[in-house]
Structure 1
């Protein structure tokens, strides 16, 4: 769907789709793309951010709970139980901002530089502003965007 299935960019998008499915979300958003970038802790993008994927997942859960609480829904502490099985998320179920971020990252590369597409995707995500979910997640994680950009480039 996004080029060779072994390309770094395809791996990131596949990881983002899996993160979307695990959370039980219906559409892949920019926040899922960030989680997909963090899945490989040795990747240049994960090192540039300096955040573990588990911490990003916890921060995203905290944002979800805060949003629900803001409208009067208190979910409390979720019970420790077996994780629910969620159906696969189709690769076409992208939010508008996720589709735009992916397109920008692809357009920023050439055939010879396609392996740098995850770096370009991170740069696109770092440039997002509120109310985009990835901007809120980056703020929740207290990521210094300019320092992350400098470490990546």
Structure 2
């Protein structure tokens, strides 16, 4: 694993734990990782997210809209007013949930050699999710995941971006 990737993942995991705690979540999930990536200063991943209109606020708004629609599908109607804030968890979660694990696994699986891992591989892991909160939120935000995935791959050096 490249030192750059290891340092980035550690910083993203710290921010994601904070995001999960603010959301009252028991585990770090894909949405917390995506929010954390949008807040990290790493230039390539941040530039890619920004190019798709995905800053922290836009991601938060898309996740809120996904939540409203999920509630609506379950028969709970929430008007257009702002959702009430979640109850902050008393503890930062240290456990990674199922979707969070998938992000990490799919990001790491995108390279043949772990030394070739770059921060953008974590974003690639998010984009490789086919079901769940994050893919639905990205669709609601109007993100073309195939286009963004192709741009992420082009940003990666050498063969690492071709897998």
TM-score tier by shorter-chain length is 0.7 to 0.9
Q: Determine if contact 1:49/1:143 at 8 Å carries over to the other structure.
A: no
How many residue pairs match? The answer is 144
Asked if residue 34 in structure 1 is aligned to residue 37 in structure 2, the reply is no
1:97 maps to which residue?
99
| Structure 1: gaps spanning 5 or more residues | none
The Cα offsets for residues 70-110 of structure 1, whole Å up to 9 and x where unpaired, read as 222234334788x8543233211x22232132134345463
Name the SS for the 1:7 alignment partner: helix
Asked if residue 52 in structure 1 is aligned to residue 30 in structure 2, the reply is no
The CA deviation at 1:10 is 0.6
1:123 maps to which residue?
124
1:20 maps to which residue?
20
**What does 1:100-111 align with in structure 2 at a 5 Å threshold?**
100-106=102-108, 108=111, 110=114
Asked if residue 63 in structure 1 is aligned to residue 80 in structure 2, the reply is no
Q: Determine if contact 1:129/1:135 at 8 Å carries over to the other structure.
A: yes
CA distance in 2, matches of 1:30, 1:80: 22
CA distance in 1, matches of 2:48, 2:13: 18
Q: CA RMSD in A?
A: 2.8
Q: TM-score, normalised by structure 1?
A: 0.76
The CA deviation at 1:39 is 1.0
| Structure 2: gaps spanning 5 or more residues | 156-163
The CA deviation at 1:60 is 0.4
2:10 maps to which residue?
10
1:151 maps to which residue?
151
Q: TM-score, normalised by structure 2?
A: 0.72
CA distance in 1, matches of 2:32, 2:136: 13
Q: Determine if contact 2:106/2:128 at 8 Å carries over to the other structure.
A: no
The Cα offsets for residues 58-79 of structure 1, whole Å up to 9 and x where unpaired, read as 1101111111122222343347
Measured at CA, do residues 78 and 150 of structure 1 come closer, stay the same or move farther in structure 2, by a change above 3 Å?
closer
Measured at CA, do residues 106 and 43 of structure 1 come closer, stay the same or move farther in structure 2, by a change above 3 Å?
same
